[in-house]
Amino acid sequence: MGCDHSVAQTHQSRIATVTPSVPLDLISPPVMLAPLAGITDLPFRTLVSGFGAGRVVSEMIASGEFLTARPGSREKAELGAGIANTSVQLAGRTPEAMAEAARMVEGMGAQVIDINMGCPAKKVVGGYSGSALLRDLDHACRLIDAVVGAVSVPVTLKTRLGWDDASHNAAELAQRAESLGIAMIVIHGRTRCQFYKGRADWSAICQIKDAVSIPVIANGDIVDTATARTALAQSGADGVMVGRGAQGRPWVLAQIAADIYGTPKPDIPKGHKLVDMIAAHYEAMLDFYGSDLGNRVARKHLGWYMDGAGTVPALRKFILTAKNSQDVLSALPNALLTDVRQAA
């Protein structure tokens, strides 16, 4: 089934004249940072970009809540809309709200807008957004139509293989989305009902790649160069998106890009350089969120960094429960440097 006849006719002419494409050099190298709620905030995206990611995506913004947020609120500042390699991701259930939110973020400087039709969270699905739209492709098309028609910048789509194993319909959605002007699609190789369990099925992404001519990006369980190579080989995709693999390793996207696409190798920090990077990330979060909230939000990142460093449990607990930021900063060398811990 195609999209509604009137919608399809309207957009065939638009595609030929107005709708911009997303050439792969816009995501060069084609290694992207996935949007992860509560994790890929502006300080983290800035850090990842600094190492050399091809593109980063803002945390998912609920269009209705975005429209009612006060001017100058942190929610709107968080987007980083005007940053060159940033896509702003929107989710929603009504075409009107999605279109208006898209117009607003384009006005804030967004160069690419991404539509979320893949989030499996019960709160999002219960609001008839995210991956819930895989159960109603006609309504999904109405949302896509509204966003593409509202803006002049490229619009991309992120989704999953389908709602469950009995309904792998991402290829149909991708075809219909392409006909409406979607410029690129990211496929997480799981169904909604899988959430993040089991293994991502990269080979299933081949069906979506074969169905469209726009770029297709593979996502799910891509954590390093080896998994990226395998995902590309099995999916035939044009690039990869990394999510949880970047936790505690903000350089991993640049490392994958260097190994696969020949971009400059990142200078992966070690020793005191690693301490300096983590301290700078921590302080950037304090500046962005404010001292109290920033300290709390930073704990998950500090925990991942300490996992990589093999921090002893007592020191890890101290840092993750400390309320004073200076105490945290003072403890980081002991927590992260093996030679300091041994000397102590």
Q: Which residues are annotated as a binding site for FMN?
A: 89, 158, 188, 243-244
Amino acid found at 155: V
CA distance 77 to 288: 9
CA distance 119 to 129: 8
Amino acid found at 339: D
CA distance 308 to 246: 12
Q: Is 119 a catalytic residue?
A: yes
| Options 119, 141, 193, 206, the catalytic residue | 119
**Angle (CA) 113 247 132, round 5°:** 45
| Residues making up the binding site | 89, 158, 188, 243-244
Cis, peptide link before residue 29, omega less than 30° from 0: yes
CA distance 110 to 82: 5
- Active-site residues, by number, are 119
